[in-house]
Amino acid sequence: MHYPNGKKQSVNAASTSVNETIYSNRGMTLEADINATNQFYLQTNQAIIHKKPTPVQIVRVDYPRRSAAVIKEAYFKQASTTDYNGIYKGRYIDFEAKETKNKTSFPFHNIHEHQIDHMKQVVEHGAICFILIRFSLYQKTYFYPAERLFDHWENQFNGGRKSISIKTIEKEGYIIPIQYQARVDYLKIIEQYYI
16 marked as binding residue: no
DSSP E strands: which ranges in 52-110?
A: 56-65, 68-76, 84-88, 91-100, 105-107
Q: Do 135 and 144 contact (CB within 8 A), yes or no?
A: no
83 marked as binding residue: yes
185 marked as binding residue: no
Four-point Cα dihedral 180, 184, 187, 193, nearest 10 = 120
Rounded to 5 degrees, what are φ and ψ at 158?
-115, 30
81 marked as binding residue: yes
Residue set of the binding site for Mg(2+): 81, 83, 96, 115
Residue set of the binding site: 81, 83, 96, 115
